[in-house]
Every structure is written in C-alpha cells, then in structure tokens.
Structure 1
Amino acid sequence: MRKIFLTLCFSLSIGLLHAQEYIFTPVTDIEATEVKSQDITGTCWSFSATSFLESEIIRLTGKKINVSEMFNVRNTYSTKAWNYVMRQGKAQFSQGALGHDVINSVRQNGLVPETAFSGLVFNETRYNHIELEGTLKAMLDNYILSKSGNLSPKWKLAVENVLDVYMGKKPSEFEYEGKTYTPESFLKMTKLNMDDYITITSFTHQPYYQSFILNIPDNFSNGAMLNVPLTDFTAIIDNALKTGYTIEWDTDVSEKTFSAKYGIAFIPENSGDALKGLKEIVSEKVITPEYRQQEFENYNTTDDHLMHIVGSLKDQNGTIYYKVKNSWGTNPNRVTNGGYVYVSKAYIELKSISILIHKDALPKDIKKKLGL
C-alpha cells in the first residue's frame, strides 16, 4: 500500500511539474488608444481599422485622438446600399465589411473625432444596429423588386434619411481643441495618407507576390489583396512590430481555442487539449500552407472578426504570442487582460484571413518582390 501511495504521489508531482500556467513577458508594446466595445453590431472592421489609424496618428504626430468609428460605418452603409441595389440584390448587405472599407471611407469622406460624431441618438449609450440593418435591407429589397424599368433616384435620399434617424447627421464642420475643421481638413491634420496602406494575405490558390480579390462575403467592395507565402506573412507582422508599426488583423474566432474570457488563442497539437490550453501551455500544431488552405476551403476558417495587433509577448518557454486589441469592451466578467487577447503564432498562421498595414512596415526584400 505504501509503495502504491508513493507511486501516486510521484506521478502527481510529475504532472504538476509539466503543467505550466501562462506567464507572459512583454517583448514589444506599441501605443494604442483605449479598448472600446462594438456592442450589438457587426462593425468590428471599423473598430479595428479605426484603432489601427489611431495608432498611426500617434506614430505620425504624437497626438492621441479618439477617432469616430461610426462615421466610417455610416459612410460605408451608403456605399453598401448602392452596391446592393446596382447588383439588383445579388450581393451581401449586412453590418459586416473589411479593413480596406475604412481606408476607402476615409479617402472619400475624411475623418472626424468621436466628439463630432458618436453614431448614438435618442440618449443611447450602446450601439445596436439590428433594427437599422433590417430596415435598410427591407427598403432596398423593396426598391429592387418594385422597379419597372425605371428606378427612382429617391431611394438614395431615403437611405440617407434612415441613416440620419438611426445614427445622426454627418457633420460638415466641427470644433476640436479650439479649432474649426471639416472632415477633410481634420484628416490632413492627422498626417494620414490612405495611399500608404495595403492589405496582405497568404493563400496557395493564387500566385504569390501578386494581387487578387479574395472571395469572401464581406469583401463587398472587391478590395484587392497582395498574396505572399506563409513564412513572409508572419515575417511581415514581426517586422512591423519590430519597427514600430501596428497591424489590423482579419481572422476566424469561431474556434474553442480563441477565448476573450481567458485572453488566449492557440492551436493545440492534440484537439483534446483545447480546454486545457485555455489556462496552461500545451503543444501546438505545426501549420503548413497546405493545411491552412484546406481549412479555408472547407469553411473551418472563415472571415469572422477583425482586431488590432499592437505588440508581442513571450511565455516562460520563450514562445512568442501577439498582443491583440479586441473590441468587446473591458468588462472583467466577459474578458481578461483589459480586453486584449494573447494570440499564438500558430493561430495567426492558421486562422488569419488578411492584415492591413503601412507599406513601410514590410521587410525590404518582400517589399521589392511585391513591387512597392
């Protein structure tokens, strides 16, 4: 009996030695604005890309500006409505979009601070676009179905009126820190140049070092992406952080191993370690381009969510993770790490759809191969 007891104790002690709860040490940490909540909307694309632009403004000017996410959202709803009607309903109309749609919106409409346009009306304190989306889509479907060879131009005014009611009127002029701006002059003040930003992806069904349009539902604007090998894709992220640039990240968060509650995301080598890995280090799967492509084509990897990569960390074994700013708020009952998620390189390799970056964040050799 004593021998059995000692054997059990020894086995338990060995298990405890191998169980390692995460201990993270910062490696790079680039300044970003505070974590926000997109609330009950599918507008992560604007929250992530706007946060990305806020960090760019800090890098370019030293100014920390709270930029309006909803100004970009409101402008993009108008663009999506036009696209939907002109395609006679043979396109997606929803709350979703991609990071390059924020770049398009800013290029065409300028930029405003949160104080000039909050997107909240009638004393609202939280965003909720369910009714707005439903109202707009029903209107647009009615226009498409009822047309008799001559679509009235009134539909465009009706769409703008609905957006005014649900989100507020767009400002043509506003005050900020004692000065009067238009959206265009405010953009100029930030020193942002929308031509500096590019979208990078990595898939094997298209040639490398060329651009193509990725066929995913939220790419309603047919934004082109530059395609690179998977090793280059992660090298670009690492080089960006090393040289002071942040990254907007489009990914899949449907996995059990992505957890805002635990603040961690990983790809376990053994699927049975999915729950274990939420609290302690587990071995991760080696991700190949072929496996990544397979998971995309069988819909296991889909375009779910966009966030903002602002730094990197290492665990006690020296393994690198990425510090990712989410847009699900900071309520400690729902999230940890103050609303950030620490994402493993394997997760980045497998689950990334694309990244939005400043072109100068590219390593020189990759930049040359892309002809930039």
Structure 2
Amino acid sequence: MSRFIIIKYTSEMKKLIAIMALAGITSSLSAQTPKETKDSIQPNVFTTVKDARITSIKNQANSGTCWAYSAQSFLEDELIRIGKGEYDLSEMFVVSHSYRDKGRKYVRLHGKLNFAQGGSFYDVLYVLKNYGAVPQAILPGLNYGTTKNQHGEMETGLKAFLDAIVSNPNGKLSSAWYPAYESIIDQYLGKLPESFTFNGKKYTPQSYAKELGLNADDYVSLTSFTHHPFYSKFALEIEDNWRWAESYNLPIDELMRTMEYAIDKGYTIAWGSDVSEKGFTRDGIAVLADVEEIETKGSDQARWIGLNYSDKQRLLTQLIHSANVPEVNPTQEYRQKGFDNYELTDDHGMVIYGIAKNQLGRKFFMVKNSWGEAGAYKGIWYASYNFVKGKTMNIVLHRSALPDDIAKKLGIKNK
C-alpha cells in the first residue's frame, strides 16, 4: 500500500535547502580541482634538434668512478667523430693508474689529500698521455668475485693501508710500502698489462693509445666562477681534483654558448655537474626546479583540497616531471653563491651529446649517464638549459669545438 507524505516547506527549510545546494556545488568544484591539476601537468615529450653518435650505455655500478666512465665514453665518442669507429676502452685501466698515483701523492703529503673513489676528467687525459690505453676486454677490473663494480672494500682497504704507512711506525718509510700497495690494487683490479694481443695484433698500452690517434693536449677544461678572473686558468677547488688540474674560466653565458656551438658542430662534451637537486631525478629528467614556487602552489592546493604530506610530495614530483615546471633562472651570482655555500657541488660526471626541445619549446641537453639503462630513457637524461647553466661544475671538450672569439680570448689555437 502506497503512502504519500505531504511536506510543507517553511522559510527556514527553504534556507536550509539553499545552503545544502550551495555546499553541493562547492563540493563539486573542489572535487574537480585534482582533475584540473592533473590535466595541467604535461609529461615531457622530447624532439631531438641535434645529436652526435655515441657508444653504448655503461654501468659504473657500486663504484665512485663516474669520472672514468664519462671521460672514457667521451673519448670513445671522439673516436667516432674522427672516423676511427667504435671502441670500448677500459675504465679500470684508468682507475688502477689513478689509485697508484694518488697513493704516492697521499703519502708524499703525509695524508693531507682527499683519498676516495672520486676523480676528475683530467685523470683520464693524464693516463692517456702518460700511460696509454687498453681495450675493456683486456682489463675489465673484476677480480673479486662479482660481475659488476663494487669498490667499497677496495677503497677502505687501500686507505687504511696508506694511513698506516703515513703514521710512520718505523721512524722512516721502507722501500716495501709502494710495491705492497700496488699488490692490493692488482688483487682487485688485475695487473696492468705490459703488452697484450687484441684482434690479432700485439700492443703495449702506449702503442694502442698511439693507434687511437687521440692527443690528450687537444682537450681543454672550462668552468665559470667569479672568484678568479675570467679568461684565466685556475685549479678548480674541489676535493676530487687531486691532481690540481687547471680549467679556463669563462662568463657563464659564454660557457653556455660554447656548449651549444660544440653540439651544433657535432662534438660531444664531458660534463661535470651537481646532481643533488630535487630536480635531478632518477628517471631521466634534470630541471632547475623552483621548488619554493612549486611548494607554495602545493601548500595552497593542500589547504584547498586537503592534501596530506604524502600526496603533496607526490604532486611535487609530478610537477618536477611536467613540461611546464617552474624553473630558477640562474645567474653568474647564483652560481658563485652556490659554490661558496656548498649548494653547488662536484657530484657526477656524464657526457652531453645533443640538444632537444620539449613540446613547449624548452631547450634540453641530451646526456649519456653511466648508471646502466636506468630511467625512462634507458640511460639517457634530458637536462634543461637552466639546469646545465646553474649546476655545471666544469666541462671538457676538444679545442676545435671552441667558437673563434672565445678561443682567442683564452689564447687557445682552435684550428
């Protein structure tokens, strides 16, 4: 049996209904905000503008040897550029020689030298010039039971040995300390070959390097800071520059112009950078994200739609990955302040080999990393123009990759 209930609408009830309707509209608008935010976050879509041919992606694994991997990769790319074809050069040949030289210097300076796994691009050039080179197959450097680099134990053992020597328990150093030190390196990385046969031909490391046809003196290091005069050379004051190699100092806009010029002319660039920023992701994107602006927007959204901390951090990550992420516009002063207060640090070596743009026209440098085929682009990173401008520590490139006017200012023959 049906019943009909007749309701008499009083003025108070009408007001209540109106309030409820307005609340429903507001709730509906609030519910749409996440969708609108999501729709405004556009994932990057990259189009290559110019790139050079490079060798395969390598994996430094659990070793602080990015400097060796990036600089050797850079030299391999140079061999392609000059028409020599593809080579796979041994990084551990460079690492082994560098540990030997570093150990001698550490003892010479009574332990007052940074002794760690890090190094600089110059270490690779120094080894090429003074000791030669060998193929990867001749010295893979994996004598300790793993298929990938794992250098923590070796570094710790070498450092402990050297510290014991520096403590000078005998009152004077014996002639045995250095051969003993070398033997530790040999046990981990393998003995350095005096000669070897490769592709049916016998070489020494020096003769193999000569056949490669690369002249270490043709490569120059550039940087950009104001605590030294522009167009002069100075030893970059970073811990891993233990050989005290010098870099030419350029204004940042001229450094950026040099990099673009080099890429346009078909060169690759060894690139040292700070990668500690939130904007340097682990999946192939590096942007100089204006985190303060992003977090301010995120805070506003959190107040409006009730985001919790985890959701806010997730939104922050999404914004960093978006094509229209707000970025800091770095200046010369920004760089110097970062270097002076330790915000701009020497973290990682990679290779820049191209330029791309995203769908909004933003310029990115194409970067070859040494973390294996990691990230969304299988070992390739896209670093925004602003990131490179703000976070570059130094670069190394062939002297012929310098624009004429900049080569002249530096007193370098680029022809």
What is the TM-score normalised by the length of structure 2? Answer: 0.85
User: What CA distance in whole angstroms lies between the structure 2 residues aligned with 1:276 and 1:89?
Assistant: 46
User: What CA distance in whole angstroms lies between the structure 2 residues aligned with 1:131 and 1:3?
Assistant: 64
SS at 1:312 equivalent = strand
User: What CA distance in whole angstroms lies between the structure 2 residues aligned with 1:227 and 1:254?
Assistant: 23
Range with greater deviation from structure 2 (322-331 or 43-52): 322-331
- Alignment partner, residue 341 of structure 1: 381
- Alignment partner, residue 269 of structure 1: 290
User: What CA distance in whole angstroms lies between the structure 1 residues aligned with 2:248 and 2:354?
Assistant: 23
Does residue 366 of structure 1 match 2:366?
A: no
The residue type paired with residue 74 of structure 1 is S
SS at 1:238 equivalent = helix
| Aligned residues between the structures | 368
Query: After the TM superposition, which residues 51-200 of structure 1 pair with which residues of structure 2 at under 5 Å, given as runs?
Result: 51-200=73-222
Contact 1:61–1:190 (8 Å) recurs in 2: no
- Alignment partner, residue 252 of structure 1: 274
Structure 2: stretches of 5+ with no match in the other structure? 1-20, 295-315
1:245-273 deviations in Å (ceiling 9; x for gaps): 10111111111110122x10111234353
The residue type paired with residue 269 of structure 1 is D
* Alpha-carbon spacing, 1:325–1:175, altered in 2? closer, same or farther (3 Å): same
User: What CA distance in whole angstroms lies between the structure 2 residues aligned with 1:336 and 1:265?
Assistant: 12
- Alignment partner, residue 285 of structure 1: 328
State the shift of 1:160 in Å: 1.1
What is the aligned counterpart of 1:295 among 329, 338, 341? 338
SS at 2:82 equivalent = helix
User: What CA distance in whole angstroms lies between the structure 2 residues aligned with 1:6 and 1:38?
Assistant: 51
User: What CA distance in whole angstroms lies between the structure 1 residues aligned with 2:393 and 2:360?
Assistant: 28
User: What CA distance in whole angstroms lies between the structure 1 residues aligned with 2:235 and 2:159?
Assistant: 25
Contact 1:60–1:191 (8 Å) recurs in 2: no
User: What CA distance in whole angstroms lies between the structure 2 residues aligned with 1:89 and 1:11?
Assistant: 60
Query: After the TM superposition, which residues 295-314 of structure 1 pair with which residues of structure 2 at under 5 Å, given as runs?
Result: 295-314=338-357
State the shift of 1:122 in Å: 4.7
Query: After the TM superposition, which residues 227-246 of structure 1 pair with which residues of structure 2 at under 5 Å, given as runs?
Result: 227-246=249-268
Structure with bigger gyration radius: 2
Contact 1:257–1:277 (8 Å) recurs in 2: no
- Alignment partner, residue 367 of structure 2: 324
User: What CA distance in whole angstroms lies between the structure 2 residues aligned with 1:118 and 1:291?
Assistant: 41
State the shift of 1:276 in Å: 3.0
User: What CA distance in whole angstroms lies between the structure 1 residues aligned with 2:123 and 2:163?
Assistant: 23
User: What CA distance in whole angstroms lies between the structure 2 residues aligned with 1:16 and 1:163?
Assistant: 53
Does residue 353 of structure 1 match 2:353?
A: no
User: What CA distance in whole angstroms lies between the structure 2 residues aligned with 1:59 and 1:201?
Assistant: 24
User: What CA distance in whole angstroms lies between the structure 2 residues aligned with 1:168 and 1:14?
Assistant: 59
SS at 1:275 equivalent = helix
* Alpha-carbon spacing, 1:13–1:94, altered in 2? closer, same or farther (3 Å): closer
Contact 2:278–2:289 (8 Å) recurs in 1: no
Q: Percent identity?
A: 39
The residue type paired with residue 271 of structure 1 is E
State the shift of 1:231 in Å: 0.1
Contact 2:194–2:205 (8 Å) recurs in 1: yes
User: What CA distance in whole angstroms lies between the structure 2 residues aligned with 1:126 and 1:81?
Assistant: 24
The residue type paired with residue 347 of structure 2 is D
* Alpha-carbon spacing, 1:131–1:9, altered in 2? closer, same or farther (3 Å): closer
What is the aligned counterpart of 2:232 among 210, 227, 250? 210
Contact 1:202–1:354 (8 Å) recurs in 2: yes
SS at 1:248 equivalent = strand
Range with greater deviation from structure 2 (114-123 or 267-276): 267-276
SS at 1:259 equivalent = coil
1:113-162 deviations in Å (ceiling 9; x for gaps): 10111001155301111111111111111111025553222111111111
SS at 2:167 equivalent = helix
SS at 2:161 equivalent = helix
User: What CA distance in whole angstroms lies between the structure 1 residues aligned with 2:349 and 2:218?
Assistant: 20
Range with greater deviation from structure 2 (169-178 or 239-248): 169-178
1:153-174 deviations in Å (ceiling 9; x for gaps): 2111111111111110111212
The residue type paired with residue 296 of structure 1 is F
1:12-42 deviations in Å (ceiling 9; x for gaps): 7765664322110011121111111111111
SS at 2:378 equivalent = helix
The residue type paired with residue 352 of structure 1 is T
* Alpha-carbon spacing, 1:13–1:118, altered in 2? closer, same or farther (3 Å): closer
SS at 1:64 equivalent = coil
User: What CA distance in whole angstroms lies between the structure 1 residues aligned with 2:371 and 2:293?
Assistant: 28
State the shift of 1:291 in Å: 1.1
State the shift of 1:336 in Å: 2.2
